[in-house]
Structure 1
């Protein structure tokens, strides 16, 4: 009495497979891949650096197949490889639409000569990065990026209200810190007790500023119990040419 049951279940399994296989095949683009083409691309993006034309041109190379054959992961990867693109979200909407949301990288600072740091703290490289204006200049070993960013943030807080503005932070391969001010002045901090020595200078700076005619051109904080400063030499006054002999009068 129990013999026919396995055959019955086997028959049901075969029948369900015959029904499901075409559906799975269509959904995965195994066949009928040229049917139901994608006709619309809807974009959501802030076009500060990447253009809609660039995105569309990149996406269209993946739309030769039909709606179900389009692989969203491939589309996202291709668009994400464009300069300035941080990440991409893609989804399909029946019957013929591909929707993309593109997030651009937001530059925070220069890193070295030709690279940038985005607001997520990641280094990236794009054409023309070195010409961008209005960004602080940070540099150091790549593996110490987070440390340089943190020290820059600390400097911005500590210098607030001092009348001095930090334009660049540099960490050498040997671990020595250097600041460049907006005035062009250099502050050598060194490797030892960097934060303590910088704070010691800022504590004294208000009195020094009151007695000087502007920021120094060089500050060396690499002393155990003090620091050295140098101001630009005053320009020599321009002397007016001495008048020559008076012309002789006519008789």
Structure 2
């Protein structure tokens, strides 16, 4: 068999090229392995529970009722607060938003060990059913009512009616303010009947229907009572026309005058 010298010459020149490529590929593989090892080591170090623990808390926001201690107590309910890399901020956010006075919270981590928390508090508009509070949207939230500052109207209603009761109070309050009166309590009972107690002690029974018309009827009646209004205990407006007026007993009036 005769082998062409052309083929022999080609093989002779290709062998150094193959060796050159093999060396280059080996070097590239070594570099890739080294980079992978460094990345793996770095990530493993950063995710190690003993590295970069979150140990500082920065609390931000216009806060009146929520303290750093409240946030720390919320975090203490977790099995543990993780590291800068491992801790899920959504979990922290859920814990903070479980604090009664917190409306919402925004959290971010700051390298290498700090949690920054921006809190928006609920703004209490009214006391709800004696043991909870309503914010401006009619959302019910719990909190220490004893810490609540200033006077607040007391609203009452069945479960699920907080928004409706708040809206009615906001709607009718101005009508009483025109008489120099303030609503201290507004009640929607289980039968869907309305009752109002004013700061001068008069109780209004308004029934289920024609709420605005009955309030206007009270205003007309009150303006005509003049000084006699201070003797009124309640006014029942659950009629198509007119009203029934209940008076304080004379003995009670005398005691009040003597004081």
- Give the alignment's Cα RMSD to 1 decimal: 3.3
Instruction: Give the equivalent residue in structure 1 for 2:161.
Output: 144
Question: Is the alpha carbon distance of 1:64 and 1:202 closer, same or farther for their aligned partners in structure 2, counting shifts above 3 Å?
Answer: closer
Structure ranking higher in helix proportion: 2
- 2:178 equivalent among 143, 158, 161: 161
Higher alpha-carbon deviation: 52-61 or 138-147: 52-61
Note the alpha carbon deviations across 1:59-109, whole angstroms, 9 max, x for none: 365764321112101111111112322211100122322111122222111
Is 2:106 the counterpart of 1:89? yes
Question: Is the alpha carbon distance of 1:237 and 1:231 closer, same or farther for their aligned partners in structure 2, counting shifts above 3 Å?
Answer: closer
1:79-158 → structure 2 map (5 Å cutoff) = 79-128=96-145, 134-158=151-175
- 2:57 equivalent among 41, 46, 49: 41
In 1, Cα distance between equivalents of 2:206 and 2:139: 26
Instruction: Give the equivalent residue in structure 1 for 2:17.
Output: none
In 1, Cα distance between equivalents of 2:93 and 2:148: 29
In 2, Cα distance between equivalents of 1:227 and 1:20: 88
In 2, Cα distance between equivalents of 1:59 and 1:105: 20
SS in 2 for 1:170: strand
In 2, Cα distance between equivalents of 1:130 and 1:114: 13
Instruction: Give the equivalent residue in structure 2 for 1:51.
Output: 67
TM-score of the superposed pair, with normalisation by structure 2: 0.73
Note the alpha carbon deviations across 1:19-53, whole angstroms, 9 max, x for none: 59957x949x7x43432223422111344222212
- What number of residue pairs does the alignment pair up? 222
Instruction: Give the equivalent residue in structure 2 for 1:72.
Output: 89
In 1, Cα distance between equivalents of 2:205 and 2:147: 24
Structure 2 residue runs without a partner (length 5+): 1-28
Larger gyration radius, structure 1 or structure 2 = 2
Structure 1 residue runs without a partner (length 5+): 1-11, 239-251
TM-score of the superposed pair, with normalisation by structure 1: 0.75
